[in-house]
Amino acid sequence: MSEVTDHLVTPIAPEGWTCPAPLRDRPRVVMGHGGGGALSAELVQQIFAPAYGGEALAQMGDAAAVTLGGARLAFSTDSYVVRPLFFPGGSIGDLAVNGTVNDLAMRGARAAYLSCGFILEEGVELDVVSRVAEALGAAARTAGVEVATGDTKVVESGHGDGIYLNTAGIGLVPTGVDLRPERVVPGDVVIVSGAVGVHGVAIMSVREGLEFGVEIESDCAALGSLVEAMLAVTPDLHVLRDPTRGGLAAALNEIAQASGTGVVLQERAVPVPAAVANACAILGLDPLYVANEGKLVAFVPREHADAVLAAMRAHPLGREAAVIGEAVDTHPGMVVARTGLGGTRVVDLPIGEQLPRIC
Amino acid sequence: MSEVTDHLVTPIAPEGWTCPAPLRDRPRVVMGHGGGGALSAELVQQIFAPAYGGEALAQMGDAAAVTLGGARLAFSTDSYVVRPLFFPGGSIGDLAVNGTVNDLAMRGARAAYLSCGFILEEGVELDVVSRVAEALGAAARTAGVEVATGDTKVVESGHGDGIYLNTAGIGLVPTGVDLRPERVVPGDVVIVSGAVGVHGVAIMSVREGLEFGVEIESDCAALGSLVEAMLAVTPDLHVLRDPTRGGLAAALNEIAQASGTGVVLQERAVPVPAAVANACAILGLDPLYVANEGKLVAFVPREHADAVLAAMRAHPLGREAAVIGEAVDTHPGMVVARTGLGGTRVVDLPIGEQLPRIC
């Protein structure tokens, strides 16, 4: 694949985005700092890691891997600020369970316990709080995880947005499982578990009142059992990631950068539903950069790829799983897409997130 | 102590408070729902527990006790919405570490790992974010806990208040340690680790620009090492609690209700610094209800009380430890104070919090 770099075309920056710059040129927080892209990474690398980063934080995975009392644990947290609170296919309550459960699953861990912190805005209807709590409970039961501990704070009207949630989760990492980008080697096969871009477009459609001819429902789901099915084929998967904020593009870039290998993406192989493609065309979005909440991307040793793909397709959450590319030894740290027209383009790490507050 | 109930006086509700009522009569969230008192308990009992409560959540302790991979873990979370972000003696970064570390310590666990979720408001200065992160890092190093995983979200200007933080923590519970209110028996000695009311008054003074003649600094501190010193005397302490929101009154009421024993408090024995007493007199507050962030209250078997008290006084964070009361078999579930004048009064669970957003 060494010829790929010979055909690079200049990446076109999405409209309105500027090039990354050190934080010192941006003295204030902007929405993009929460987008899971280059600005978020800057914040972590320049402020958070120097202030309190240790060995576990330096792993920079979806979840930290820690050992406590002889148990190998995955530990992760996310805050949820999605707007609106309810959207086609889910709610902030579903997201708060599935997002954290999936972060643990990306370490190979089945989530065991969640914590749950509510930040309520004064004046929000208790009925809304109740509906969110019920959605959270239903999602936890589906995922097989127990909410073990919680906290509630209230802020004055005008200092919140109805409900913000935080969950943290812990789960056991099975023996022999060691999922991290450093294990990726050239030749690894890249598999995505299904259609991309659905969650972001679902949020956008309801938030902006857009109609795309057909209602698009979020793919929000807990991936623990899918990951278990994959690990049953072989514990030797190399890395898993759920392409949430920043979409597939951000997930692949993070893996490429952390592993030091290149990634070649066969753009036509990426499953994009027609409704998502149409919506993205109207909105000027690239489906590779749109967030997912019930999908994963896996880097699998070539000899296991067929069996893992078959196991995924046999699972309800992996029916549309597809091989979408491979790890290569050329262009280390870089993701390059082969386009439908036979050309290539660099798939950059996004600066921020095209759609703020999608999770 | 059976005579206590004969002398009960009618408790006087703090001004502006109404009697508790079921949630159905309050269709919207009010500030008091975040106050750690009766309204918070209603929210948990009527909405959260039915929606997603399991065995661990039902413990209703500062932290949940769970078992994972053979390890006995304490697991806890708190969100922090204190206003202002910096106050005499600390900041939201210190609180976010010490609050969660202390919740784990109240289970007897030394905090091992923290998660950290930032919800930033668009427009907040990065320098402020940086100072908070540095305070958080310094507090974590002091407490001997590692920040293992994190998350950042950004909300639009006008939907936050600079910085909200959430931390969750996990730690190992030592063998033989089983701290929970159900273990309290009549005769247990109640010990507080030092002066009460300091944190709440410190926040109030800076928030409202009040001057009390002397600057009152928050007592915000991590209590892990103090708890270890106490458990070194005997692992058989019955229950510990950090009297944060709702103060000593809320902590004692929660223990009385969960244990089904009564508590008699010797009001004159409770250490209240003169500056706090003066400030409370001016503001119309009761020091028993004012929040602390570096204190604990312990229910200790009578035979170990002297030794535990001595161990506490030998520790820098327990120098002013004092016996303040005992558990009794009369008035089960109720806290009664013997006043300085020889009378008694019921110390109720507060409805909300006298000072909103103190942590």
Mind listing the pLDDT tens digit for each residue in B316-347?
A: 999 999 999 999 999 999 999 999 888 999 99
Write down the pLDDT at residue B355: 83
Inter-chain touch A33–B154, beta carbons under 8 Å: yes
Q: Render each residue's pLDDT in chain A as its tens digit; 359 residues.
A: 333 333 333 333 344 444 455 565 669 999 999 998 999 999 999 999 999 999 889 887 789 999 999 999 999 999 999 999 999 999 999 999 999 999 999 999 999 999 999 999 999 999 999 999 999 999 999 999 999 999 999 999 999 999 999 999 999 999 999 999 999 999 999 999 999 999 999 998 888 777 777 789 999 999 999 999 999 999 999 999 999 999 999 999 999 999 999 999 999 999 999 999 999 998 889 999 999 999 999 999 999 999 999 999 999 999 999 999 999 999 999 999 999 888 999 999 988 877 889 99
Write down the pLDDT at residue A5: 33
Give the chain A residue whose CA is nearest to the CA of B173: A69
Token pair of A125 as six digits: 């209807």
Q: What are the residue ranges of helices labelled H in B48-191?
A: 49-52, 55-58, 92-105, 126-143
- For Cα atoms B246, B250, B252, give the angle at the middle one, nearest 5 degrees: 145
H-helix or E-strand spanning residue B282? helix B274-283
Give the chain A residue whose CA is nearest to the CA of B171: A68
How would you list the strands of the sheet with A335-338, edge to edge? A239-241, A297-300, A189-192, A322-328, A262-266, A335-338, A344-346
Top residue of A25, A79, A106, A131 to mutate, by most chain B CBs within 10 Å, is: A79
B356 contacts in chain A (CB < 8 Å): 154, 156
Provide the CATH topology of domain A64-172.
60s Ribosomal Protein L30; Chain: A; (3.30.1330)
Domain A2-21+178-346 annotated CATH 3.10.180.10 = no
| Residue B6 pLDDT grade (very low, low, confident, very high; cuts 50, 70, 90) | very low
Q: Looking at A7-11, A120-124, B13-17, B162-166, which range is the least confident one?
A: A7-11
Inter-chain touch A119–B115, beta carbons under 8 Å: no
How crowded is the C-beta side of B297, counted as CA atoms within 13 Å? 33
Determine the Cα–Cα distance for residues B128 and A43; give it in Å rounded to an integer. 13
Say if B67 is an interface residue toward chain A (CB within 8 Å): no
Inter-chain touch B117–A78, beta carbons under 8 Å: yes
**Amino acid found at A243:** P
Write down the pLDDT at residue A232: 98
A–B CB contacts, 8 A cutoff, strictly below: 284
A102/chain B closest Cα distance in angstroms? 14
Segment B113-123, tens digit of pLDDT: 999 999 999 99
The stretch B253-277 carries a mean pLDDT of 96
- For Cα atoms B232, B235, B238, give the angle at the middle one, nearest 5 degrees: 130
Q: Which of A274, A155, A168 is nearest to A213 (CA)?
A: A274
Write down the pLDDT at residue B342: 87
Top residue of A120, A145, A149 to mutate, by most chain B CBs within 10 Å, is: A149
Q: Which of A157, A184, A201, A181 is nearest to A293 (CA)?
A: A201
Inter-chain touch A159–B160, beta carbons under 8 Å: yes
Write down the pLDDT at residue B311: 98
Say if A34 is an interface residue toward chain B (CB within 8 Å): yes
Do B252 and B336 meet the contact criterion of CB atoms below 8 Å apart?
Answer: no
Do A333 and A321 meet the contact criterion of CB atoms below 8 Å apart?
Answer: no
Inter-chain touch B31–A123, beta carbons under 8 Å: no
Token pair of B277 as six digits: 């007493």
Provide the CATH topology of domain B66-172.
60s Ribosomal Protein L30; Chain: A; (3.30.1330)
Token pair of A126 as six digits: 């208790």
Q: Which of B175, B181, B183, B150 is nearest to B165 (CA)?
A: B150
Token pair of A60 as six digits: 């920079």
Write down the pLDDT at residue A356: 87
Inter-chain touch B117–A44, beta carbons under 8 Å: no
Segment A177-187, tens digit of pLDDT: 999 999 999 99
The stretch B294-317 carries a mean pLDDT of 98
B357 contacts in chain A (CB < 8 Å): 153, 155-156
Determine the Cα–Cα distance for residues B114 and A334; give it in Å rounded to an integer. 32
Give the chain B residue whose CA is nearest to the CA of A99: B151
Q: Looking at A335-344, B10-19, B283-292, B323-332, which range is the least confident one?
A: B10-19
Determine the Cα–Cα distance for residues B81 and B165; give it in Å rounded to an integer. 7
Segment B130-152, tens digit of pLDDT: 999 999 999 999 999 999 999 99
Which residue in this structure is represented by tokens 């009766």?
Answer: B38
Do A35 and A350 meet the contact criterion of CB atoms below 8 Å apart?
Answer: yes
Say if A107 is an interface residue toward chain B (CB within 8 Å): no
Nearest to A34 among B23, B153, B166 (CB): B153
Say if B246 is an interface residue toward chain A (CB within 8 Å): no
Q: What is the DSSP string of B9-60?
A: -PPPPPTT------GGG--B--GGGGTTSHHHHHHIIIIIHHHHB-HHHHT-
Cα–Cα distance list, B214 to A140, B190, B202, B262, B274 (Å): 50, 30, 11, 37, 10
Inter-chain touch B66–A112, beta carbons under 8 Å: yes
Q: Which of B114, B120, B74 is nearest to B95 (CA)?
A: B114
Q: Which residue has the higher pLDDT, B20 or B355?
A: B355
Q: CB-based burial of residue A291 (10 Å sphere; 0-12 exposed, 13-18 middle, 19+ buried)?
A: buried
A190/chain B closest Cα distance in angstroms? 26
Residue spans of the domains in chain B: they are 66-172, 177-346
Across chain B, mean pLDDT equals 91
The architecture that CATH gives domain B177-346 is: Alpha-Beta Complex (3.90)
Give the chain B residue whose CA is nearest to the CA of A60: B149
Write down the pLDDT at residue B25: 65
Give the chain A residue whose CA is nearest to the CA of B127: A27
Write down the pLDDT at residue B59: 81
Determine the Cα–Cα distance for residues B5 and A282; give it in Å rounded to an integer. 74
